[in-house]
Structure 1
């Protein structure tokens, strides 16, 4: 029930009429308008509300040609201005986000969420389950899969937000989603940077790699990556908030003046989460390519050398996929923070598909592991079609066979005859 007062001014009797309106006030009307999200709903509901206004005017003897003025508490704009602004906002929102685009983005989010969660959870499972998978590189891959799984778990909420046109989940979940988004962005790129540096040490400094590249040290590095990512993840949780200016939005609310903080924050995010890490990764791989071209055998063994090159190639492909998927949205976000006008229909739609492309990268990594790494491929196959002897048992059996062959060759070299 509306308990605020609506004040009418009737020039016919030159007096103020203060009447309590139990069913409708201007403030309630404006609030109802803000909840209308499509032009179709507005066209059906607004005439009914206006009919109610006419009924109230007739009831209180206000003629249609009188200059009736409705004053609303706590509102800085008049009724007509507020009505026009909100109705224009509805038309603009509906134009920028056609229903087909909303449905497409929401469906893409759901598919990416399901495929990515299954793939990344499977990656984490095989690394935990199989002893032979607990290498330094795979420990970093586990960290990357964890960050990807967390951000993919938020896609149902973000897809609902895009489809409905407003955030319906409240402030607490808004803070969590914004924080996880920034955690994923920084944790992923920091982990890929560490993986590239790890490959550089393995290829260019194989002796030092024996001491530096251990699973235990990789776990410590992963913890440091999350602590470093908290430098942006925690502030994002604090600044993430629900705003009601043009509909209910879950956004990162920067302090005033926004004209100063928007470009500062956007530039820092672009440098720390993209440009600087990609530069470090590029330097590492340039040095690795130079080393691989100059030395035919890196580790003294063709088998080890083949594995070294294979893992290096896999990490390079994962990094390249990250750069391809994240470059568009990073550039768009930087341009927006610097004040470029990105308000056209095509630009806004393109930006949302760039965001979706960034999330696609999180579901793409497990597919790359399956195609590029034989150990992951065998583990995935073992998970889908379990054999009586597990992956670890097969690996142990293979090592025992190699040991027997070595012992047999040594005995033959010493001149010992084979048993009958």
Structure 2
């Protein structure tokens, strides 16, 4: 994602970089500033709410916590890029060049994998509530999260290998760019992003929520519907804000593989002029969740105060016992009165037997 903030144009477009465009740098710096002001404290508040105020950390809250950590980490990096866009010069050195781009890619991969886990867990909880308890073990979930973070850290290594600070020809300014052949780097880096960030996760997410929404339409429990609406809003917001970025990735890979000619020039114009905008939109995704949580939990604010978000997350977490009781209530709703009468009758019979036995027992004891 962050590669776009200082991608160097191909030879056909000269040696101009994105920071040479006054409009692009001004708009980019403005967007990143707003994103930082909203996203950084917002994600910190989410992390604090879950760790300090949540009475129970469910599977859903653990996933939301890790998502907030990923988004908050990205928000913490935005000041470096704001300075870069304002100064139009990379002043942070070669090590930070590699580390910042690496961490940006880690955030992208971590966010999408956490969204996948969230979607699959909700699918399991909705379709197979009896079996969800076997997958809700806290230790198991923590192990899965550790594996996810390790995998995304390994998958992001190319961003660190292919990056270093380069001086612009004839100037004293520097850019952080790939030092290998630009076409080869584009194919490798953006193809990997497309596979891990789009082609695999998006179908999984879409199919999961199609199944979830079909099942929700058959249920009568408003609270579950509200919970699923919140999770669905998180997923849809993430997917929609990242979709333009992945589309431009496709265009850039096609440009890199395309032979010289008119089509290659058209593809070059598309990705080069759109990259800054789509990257800014992708950055917005990291500050969108706190806003969604605020509007979803505003009914808790007056009653719970600063703990409103923790209560909101507890409301979205459906434990297995609750799911089972709700499912049993749904399956037996047509025979509710009959079942209730049977239960009352059985209770009376049990009480009668207990009373009889209690009356006989003292006689036997001679009391």
1:218 to 116, 119, 141: 141
1:146 to 66, 69, 76: 69
2:163 to 240, 246, 256: 240
Shift of 1:378: 4.3
Aligned runs of 1:322-401 on 2, under 5 Å?
Answer: 322-339=238-255, 340-341=264-265, 344=269, 348-373=272-297, 377-378=300-301, 382-383=305-306
Show the counterpart of 1:182. 105
Q: Tell me, in whole angstroms, the C-alpha distance in 2 between the residues paired with 1:147 and 1:313.
A: 22
Q: Tell me, in whole angstroms, the C-alpha distance in 2 between the residues paired with 1:252 and 1:259.
A: 10
Show the counterpart of 1:203. 126
Aligned runs of 1:303-314 on 2, under 5 Å?
Answer: 305-314=221-230
Q: Tell me, in whole angstroms, the C-alpha distance in 2 between the residues paired with 1:181 and 1:173.
A: 12
Shift of 1:130: 2.1
2:153 to 230, 242, 246: 230
Shift of the 379–335 alpha-carbon distance from structure 1 to 2, 3 Å rule, reads farther
Shift of 1:142: 0.6
1:279 to 187, 203, 206: 203
Q: Tell me, in whole angstroms, the C-alpha distance in 2 between the residues paired with 1:379 and 1:322.
A: 29
Show the counterpart of 1:113. 36
Conserved in 1, the CA contact under 8 Å of 2:248 and 2:271? no
RMSD (Å), alpha carbons: 3.3
Q: Which runs of 5+ in 2 are unaligned?
A: 1-10, 256-263, 316-343, 352-367
Conserved in 1, the CA contact under 8 Å of 2:123 and 2:212? yes
Using CA pairs under 8 Å that are at least 6 residues apart, name the structure with larger relative contact order, 1 or 2: 2
Shift of 1:330: 1.4
Shift of the 391–281 alpha-carbon distance from structure 1 to 2, 3 Å rule, reads closer
Shift of 1:143: 0.6
Q: Deviations over 1:55-112 (max 9, x none)?
A: xxxxxxxxxxxxxxxxxxxxxxxxxxxxxx9xx968x569x84434322211211121
1:296 counterpart SS class: coil
Conserved in 1, the CA contact under 8 Å of 2:75 and 2:286? yes
Q: 2:233 matched to 1:317?
A: yes
1:290 to 197, 214, 224: 214
Show the counterpart of 1:134. 57
Shift of 1:370: 2.1
Show the counterpart of 1:251. 177
Shift of the 165–184 alpha-carbon distance from structure 1 to 2, 3 Å rule, reads same
Shift of 1:221: 2.1
TM-score (norm: length of structure 2): 0.70
Conserved in 1, the CA contact under 8 Å of 2:251 and 2:271? no
Higher helix share: 2
Q: Which runs of 5+ in 1 are unaligned?
A: 1-84, 298-304, 396-409, 416-420
Shift of the 97–208 alpha-carbon distance from structure 1 to 2, 3 Å rule, reads same
Shift of the 381–101 alpha-carbon distance from structure 1 to 2, 3 Å rule, reads farther
2:186 to 253, 262, 269: 262
Aligned runs of 1:404-419 on 2, under 5 Å?
Answer: none
Shift of 1:268: 2.4
Shift of 1:202: 0.5
Q: Tell me, in whole angstroms, the C-alpha distance in 2 between the residues paired with 1:262 and 1:93.
A: 16
Conserved in 1, the CA contact under 8 Å of 2:163 and 2:178? yes
Show the counterpart of 1:78. none
Shift of 1:208: 0.7
Moved >6 Å (runs of 4+): none
Q: Tell me, in whole angstroms, the C-alpha distance in 1 between the residues paired with 2:228 and 2:40.
A: 25
TM-score (norm: length of structure 1): 0.62
Which has the larger Rg? Answer: 1
Conserved in 2, the CA contact under 8 Å of 1:97 and 1:349? no
2:164 counterpart SS class: strand
